[in-house]
Each structure stands twice: as structure tokens, then as C-alpha cells.
């Protein structure tokens, strides 16, 4: 039965007992009362049952001298079932977070990327988070600023924007690639650019752009979105099951990073190049990070065979002990350019 305020009139008390009080207790009190079955009372006929809960029973048990006034919210059976369904949906939102293919889970939620030091134990930054242990609305609110940051790319560094031939930054392809690689690592999106090939070897298209062909890029996109990424053992060889290459299940976070990184690469371009790319890749679904980057490189990065051969010869003749640490950028530049043309 529901409990009501005391009355000096027995008639008034009788009439009031038939008027249910509004459910004013908090969800916390409601859930607390569920833990103690003795706190729940059922009143009414079986066809129109209502459930009332003494949300202050736990207080009266611990403070017998000064019992707190009780509030007894009344719920219909349908209201109670709907409340439980809502609580269940909210629980599912943070209790069933999936492990990212590249990344991890922590007390806050799910994050992507290889993490601090490339060890995969903790996220590189807060921008690596992709899901939070909370309800859908709060999760969306928390992810919105992260999404904006991840899509910025190199837009805050105008001197490093990819540009068409004839534009001011046209000769800064290599520094732009290095800066973009560092950005992708900082926001946990680098893994979609690190291609796992059919023989198990890894190809980082941000640092080895000349090794990427159209076939390699298309196959990698298909692996990330349809087939699943190839599993590789500790020796870097594909894992076989019954003679067939074993693959991971598709990862929703990879799909998310594919499209966020596409926006990031577009925003790392000069306005003229960005508009050109949008015409070349009209479908939003095709504007993934690897595909947009590959399209850029085909347009603006075509090292000649003679230049490649010259750089390879220089690399082979180098002795690292002959150069101080500040030569690292020069070596990185030669490394990037020495892997051949796009095919």
C-alpha cells in the first residue's frame, strides 16, 4: 500500500489513501529500493497493479532515533517495465564496449591507436577516445569535440598544407607527410594507414608512400571494411587456419577512423587542392583517409626514376656514424623518396 501524510481526520485519511503521491524520489533511490525487496509494496487489483517503494528505508535502518519522512513513489506496471528497459539500454551502452582491433579499453571507455610509445597500453591523448562508459546522449556529447579535433588535420599549420604544383607549398610534400603522420598518431588514427599485406608485411603509406599501388590501397580498404584484417604471428607471417589465411572480424572503430581521417587529410590540403579532390572523389563514402592520401600523392608526388636511383645510391653509401643527429630530417626525406613511383 502507498503511504501518505498523517491526518487528524479519519475520513480525510480514508480519502487520501486512495490518491497516489507523485513519484518524486530519484532514480538512485528507486534502484536502492530494488536492492531491498522488503522496501517494495504492491497495491491495487491484479489488472491495474501499482508498485510503491520506500526510498528512505535504508536511512531509517541506520538512524532509528530520528526516522526520516518517507516518500513513496507509485508506478504502474507499465511505467516500471519501461523504467527497467531504459536502465537496461543505458547499461548496455557502457557494459558492452568492444575491444578495438588497434587500441584498448580503460576505465573511461574505448580508445584507438598504438598508444604511448607504441606499446598499446594507454592512449596517446584524450583525442584517441572513441567510446565512453556512459549513456548514448552523454557519449555523443563527449565525442563531439574529439571528432572535431580528429578532423582538423594540419589546418592549423598553413605552411604544411599539401598543395598543387605552382602553389607556395608545392615543394613541401615530405615535411607535410611527416607532420600528418605525427598528427594521426596523436589522435589514434595511424593504424588505418599501416597496411597489412597478404604476405604479412606492414606498409606505412605515410612513411613509405612510393611503395603503395592502387591495388594495394584498394585491397587494404576491402580488408578494413569487408574481409577483415589479416592476422599475423610473432614472426610477421600470416596465420593460417585449415590452409586459409585467418582474419580479424571487422572493427567499427576502424570504420570510424577511416572516415574521420579522410576529413583530416582533406583539411590538410590547400583550398584549391581540396576542391579538386572533392571533384575527383565525389562520393562521401569513398573519402577515406588512405584513399584521399593516395589520390593526393598521385597528383603531386611523382619522383623520377633517375632521382630515385640517385637517392638509393646515396642511402647505400651513407654511414650514420658520420652524421650528427640533426641529419635525421634529411635521411627521412631520402627514405620517403626512395621507394619508387605510384603504380
Is residue 21 a contact partner of residue 73, using CB atoms and an 8 Å limit?
yes
% of the chain at pLDDT higher than 70? 62
268 pLDDT band, cuts 50/70/90, is very high
Q: 3-state SS string over 273-301?
A: HHHHHHHHCCCHHHCCHHHHHHHHHHHHC
Instruction: Tell me how crowded residue 90 is: count the other CB atoms within 10 A of its CB.
Output: 15
Among 74-78, 143-147, 205-209, the range of highest mean pLDDT: 143-147
| Single pTM value for the model | 0.66
Looking only at the bridges linking them, the beta strands covering 109-112 and 129-132 are: antiparallel
pLDDT digits (tens, 9 = 90+) for 305-339: 555 556 556 556 665 555 554 444 455 555 554 44
Residue 238 dihedral angles phi and psi, to the nearest 5°: -60, 140
Q: What is the pLDDT of residue 240?
A: 96
pLDDT digits (tens, 9 = 90+) for 31-77: 444 444 444 444 444 444 444 444 444 444 444 556 656 555 676 77
**Cα 17 from Cα 130, distance rounded (Å):** 51
> 180 vs 89, which has greater pLDDT?
180
Amino acid at each position: 500500500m502507498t503511504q501518505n501524510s498523517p491526518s487528524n481526520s479519519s475520513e480525510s485519511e480514508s480519502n487520501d489513501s486512495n490518491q497516489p503521491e507523485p513519484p518524486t524520489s530519484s532514480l538512485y533511490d528507486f534502484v536502492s529500493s530494488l536492492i531491498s525487496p522488503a522496501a517494495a509494496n504492491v497495491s491495487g487489483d491484479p489488472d491495474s497493479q501499482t508498485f510503491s517503494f520506500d526510498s528512505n528505508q535504508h536511512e531509517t535502518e541506520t538512524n532509528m532515533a530520528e526516522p526520516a519522512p518517507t516518500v513513496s513513489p507509485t508506478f504502474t506496471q507499465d511505467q516500471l517495465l519501461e523504467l527497467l528497459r531504459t536502465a537496461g539500454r543505458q547499461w548496455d551502452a557502457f557494459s558492452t564496449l568492444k575491444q578495438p582491433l588497434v587500441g584498448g579499453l580503460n576505465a573511461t571507455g574505448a580508445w584507438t591507436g598504438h598508444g604511448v610509445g607504441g606499446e598499446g597500453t594507454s592512449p596517446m591523448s584524450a583525442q584517441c577516445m572513441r567510446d565512453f562508459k556512459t549513456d548514448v546522449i552523454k557519449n555523443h556529447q563527449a565525442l563531439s569535440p574529439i571528432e572535431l579535433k580528429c578532423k582538423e588535420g594540419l589546418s592549423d599549420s598553413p605552411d604544411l598544407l599539401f598543395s598543387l604544383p605552382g602553389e607556395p607549398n608545392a615543394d613541401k610534400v615530405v615535411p607535410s607527410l611527416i607532420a600528418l603522420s605525427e598528427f594521426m598518431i596523436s589522435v589514434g588514427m595511424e593504424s588505418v594507414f599501416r597496411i597489412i599485406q597478404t604476405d604479412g608485411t606492414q606498409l606505412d603509406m605515410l612513411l613509405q608512400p612510393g611503395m603503395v599501388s592502387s591495388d594495394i590501397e584498394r585491397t587494404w580498404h576491402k580488408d578494413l571494411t569487408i574481409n577483415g584484417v589479416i592476422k599475423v604471428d610473432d614472426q610477421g607471417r600470416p596465420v593460417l587456419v585449415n590452409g586459409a589465411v585467418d582474419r580479424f572480424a571487422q572493427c567499427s572503430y576502424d570504420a570510424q577512423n577511416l572516415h574521420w581521417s579522410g576529413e583530416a587529410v582533406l583539411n590538410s590540403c590547400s583550398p584549391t587542392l581540396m576542391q579538386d579532390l572533392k571533384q575527383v572523389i565525389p562520393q562521401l563514402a569513398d573519402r577515406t583517409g588512405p584513399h584521399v592520401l593516395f589520390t593526393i600523392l598521385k597528383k603531386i608526388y611523382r619522383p623520377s626514376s633517375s632521382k630515385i636511383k640517385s637517392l638509393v645510391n646515396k642511402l647505400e653509401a651513407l654511414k650514420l656514424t658520420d652524421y650528427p643527429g640533426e641529419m635525421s630530417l634529411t635521411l627521412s626525406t631520402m627514405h620517403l623518396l626512395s621507394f619508387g613511383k605510384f603504380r
